[in-house]
């Protein structure tokens, strides 16, 4: 998943939880600009720990699978929910 896709998921999860970028940034000790850049996929550099903190705060997780593998049944079901 590219950073743009991750950013979109973060944006959607944040909106569902009715949390502003500023609130999220303050809770995690980051700048609002960084949160915006993550959501827009324009962030130049972000450490894995920071990204995981954002995901955890929003109740998301990062999954890894073999490149080119077909989606799992769980992934397909998750897509249908959206």
pLDDT in tens, 21-68: 999 999 999 999 999 999 998 988 888 999 999 999 999 988 887 888
Alpha-carbon separation of residue 27 from 2, 42, 48, 73 (angstroms): 25, 21, 17, 34
Residue with token string 């915006």:
36
- Beta strands (DSSP E) in 1-82 are none
DSSP letter for 64, please: -
- Which residues lie closer than 8 Å to 35 by C-beta, 6 or more apart? 21, 24, 25, 54
Residue with token string 């009715």:
18
For position 73, what pLDDT does the model report? Answer: 82
For position 70, what pLDDT does the model report? Answer: 84
For position 72, what pLDDT does the model report? Answer: 81
For position 82, what pLDDT does the model report? Answer: 66
pLDDT at 1 over 60: no
């Amino acid at each position: 998943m590219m950073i743009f896709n991750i950013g979109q998921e973060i944006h959607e999860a944040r909106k569902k939880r009715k949390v502003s970028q500023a609130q999220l940034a303050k809770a995690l000790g980051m700048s609002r600009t960084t949160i915006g850049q993550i959501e827009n996929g324009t962030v130049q550099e972000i450490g894995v720990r920071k990204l995981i903190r954002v995901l955890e705060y929003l109740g998301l997780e990062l999954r890894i699978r073999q490149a080119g593998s077909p989606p799992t049944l769980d992934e397909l079901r998750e897509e249908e929910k959206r």
